[in-house]
Amino acid sequence: MPKRTARRDLPQKTCPVCGRAFAWRKKWAKVWEEVRYCSERCRRTGKSAR
């Protein structure tokens, strides 16, 4: 059985809206470079604040 990667070893980014750090997720594997926000709520808030 393959070993799992610890969450602390995954790449991380900081959300520009709330300042919270968030880690890589498997569903973001193909678009990780484009991910900016930690959640839908921050994405909506960030776009309306501009």
What's the per-residue H, E or C state across the chain? CCCCCCHHHCCEEECCCCCCEEECCHHHCCCCCCCCCCCHHHHHHHHHHC
pLDDT one-digit tens code per residue, 23-49: 999 999 999 999 999 999 999 998 776
Amino acid at residue number 43: R
Say if residue 2's pLDDT is above 80.
Answer: no
End-to-end C-alpha distance for the chain, whole angstroms: 47
Instruction: Judge residue 7's burial from the number of C-beta atoms within 10 Å of its C-beta, 0-12 exposed, 13-18 middle, 19 or more buried.
Output: exposed
Say if residue 8's pLDDT is above 90.
Answer: no
